[in-house]
Chains A and B, each alone.
Chain A
Amino acid sequence: MFKWIHKFGSPPFVYRLCRGFGPWIGWLCLILIIGGLYLGLVKAPADYEQGDSYRIIFIHVPAAWMSMFVYVVMAIASLVFLVWRLKLADVVARASAPIGASFTFIALATGSIWGKPMWGAWWVWDARLTSELLLLFLYIGYIALRNAFDNQNAAARAAAILALVGVINIPVIHYSVEWWNTLHQPATIAKFDKPSIHISMLIPLLMMVLAFQLLYAHNLMTRIRTGILEREKRARWVGELLESGRV
């Protein structure tokens, strides 16, 4: 029943899968970004309270969501690697870390640029901002820990444990605006109630969210290919691949 899943443990199969789908996902992402930005920055009306400044949500919100999503992917991949010793899971986790760190940085930076005119402060130590900053440090710590080892297997195992411990921070980030009174606003969309955003702003926002998902998928696939080639550099199929010139 689960036979098909074994194919995803095979490096040549996953390599070809990423090579086949990667570029298509990249093009789709580009179209969505252009469409989403046009609808969001040009077509969508100004906000009744924040005026045009609110338009930063079209970057800020997708980046912030992805910063958490990528971490969850990294943690699940780390779990699979620790328990099943599946090397490809480690390749996925390792490939995700810099992408997730970038999304986190974008979320923090755009939020800061927004905060200055809206709140009157670049930064406040409220629960949401502090836990998101901790997420950035977790990503950086993960990357640093990996690079601190000479032995690749030891590096992978230590980093996987760090990734799993850090996953506790994800619910804290999400619920911080409910558990504590923060300066950051509570959730607009990710709640049980209906979204408290007008449909003309919601559509471009969701387009950007999808675009950022695809951006992650595209980058991940590219990085997985590099990771596989690096790990399997002594394998015969890699040699044949290099000789055929179709890398």
Chain B
Amino acid sequence: MTPARKKRLALVVLMLLGVGLATTFALNAFNKNILYFFSPSQIASGEAPVDQLFRVGGMVVDGSVNRSEEGLDVAFELSDTLHQVNVVYTGILPDLFREGQGIVAIGKLDTDGLFVAETVLAKHDENYMPPEVAEALKKAGKMPGTAAPGYGQDSVSYE
């Protein structure tokens, strides 16, 4: 390699290292300032803000979903296996919303400790298989975890 090319290569590598380092620092700072994803346990211990929008994530408790006879009102319980929180929501739920499914709700906690959701989002996992295979796996007790990782204690990065 000629000296001129070596110099240019070194400059480019230096530039990439610099930008990479800057990005790493920026993302780390962003990581620490991330808005918390409150779990039902954190709500139970009073860490969640009252009268302010925040997100809560957990699994929809089996048998807890109550749809109103008329209208789009729905009430259900979210759990992180330790604590539960009651959620009410008015609107169309995503297709994947069902009991036992991990979801994220955005809304406010009222003074009675009831979570009034403005938006309900369902989270699907990375497993794809035909229904027969899922059935067989369930029977064998080998179904991959249906809960998305991090529900309960972790932070979440979107808003």
Q: Is the CB of A48 within 8 A of B133?
A: yes
Q: Is the CB of A183 within 8 A of B131?
A: no
Q: Is the CB of B129 within 8 A of A127?
A: no
Binding site for A on B (CB under 8 A): 5, 8-9, 12, 15-16, 19-20, 23, 27, 31, 34, 37, 92-97, 104, 119-135, 144, 149-150, 154-159
Which of chain A's residues have a CB closer than 8 A to the CB of B23? 168, 172
Q: Is the CB of B20 within 8 A of A197?
A: no
Docked complex: A68-89 residues within 8 A CB-CB of B: 79, 82-84
| Interface membership of A187, Cβ < 8 A | yes
Q: Is the CB of B121 within 8 A of A197?
A: no
Q: If the complex has contacts A50-B96, A82-B8, A168-B23, are A185 and B125 also in contact, measured as CB distance less than 8 A?
A: yes
Q: Is the CB of B16 within 8 A of A84?
A: no
Other-chain contact of A198, B19, B27, B97, B128 (Cβ < 8 Å): B128
Bin the interface of chain A by size.
Answer: 35 or more
Which of chain B's residues have a CB closer than 8 A to the CB of A84? 5
Binding site for B on A (CB under 8 A): 45-51, 53-54, 57, 79, 82-84, 117-121, 124-127, 129-130, 161, 164-165, 167-168, 172, 179-183, 185-188, 196-198, 200-201
Residue of A129, A187, A188 contacting most chain B CB atoms (<10 Å): A188
Q: Is the CB of B12 within 8 A of A82?
A: yes
CA distance A200 to B131 in the complex (A): 12
Q: Is the CB of B144 within 8 A of A119?
A: no
Which of chain A's residues have a CB closer than 8 A to the CB of B129? 47-48, 197-198, 201
Which of chain A's residues have a CB closer than 8 A to the CB of B158? 124-127, 129-130, 182-183
Other-chain contact of A168, B19, B37, B120, B128 (Cβ < 8 Å): B19
Q: Is the CB of B128 within 8 A of A197?
A: yes
Other-chain contact of B131, A48, A117, A179 (Cβ < 8 Å): A48
Residue of B20, B119, B158 contacting most chain A CB atoms (<10 Å): B158
Residue of B9, B20, B104 contacting most chain A CB atoms (<10 Å): B104
Other-chain contact of A196, B34, B127, B130 (Cβ < 8 Å): B127
CA distance A82 to B123 in the complex (A): 44
A114, closest chain B residue (CB): B124
Q: If the complex has contacts A49-B124, A120-B97, are A183 and B130 also in contact, measured as CB distance less than 8 A?
A: no
Q: Is the CB of A183 within 8 A of B123?
A: yes
Q: If the complex has contacts A83-B9, A180-B156, A182-B157, are A117 and B124 also in contact, measured as CB distance less than 8 A?
A: no
Other-chain contact of A119, B92, B96, B135 (Cβ < 8 Å): B96
Q: Is the CB of B157 within 8 A of A118?
A: no
Q: Is the CB of B150 within 8 A of A181?
A: yes
Minimum CB–CB distance for A171 against chain B, Å = 9
Which of chain A's residues have a CB closer than 8 A to the CB of B37? 181
Q: Which 6 A-B pairs have the closest CB atoms?
A: A120-B94, A126-B158, A45-B130, A48-B134, A180-B157, A197-B128
Q: Is the CB of B133 within 8 A of A198?
A: yes
A-B contacts, 16 listed (Cβ < 8 Å) = A47-B128, A48-B133, A48-B135, A49-B96, A49-B124, A54-B128, A83-B9, A168-B16, A168-B20, A181-B37, A182-B156, A185-B126, A186-B126, A196-B126, A198-B130, A201-B129
CA distance A187 to B92 in the complex (A): 28
Q: Is the CB of B128 within 8 A of A201?
A: yes
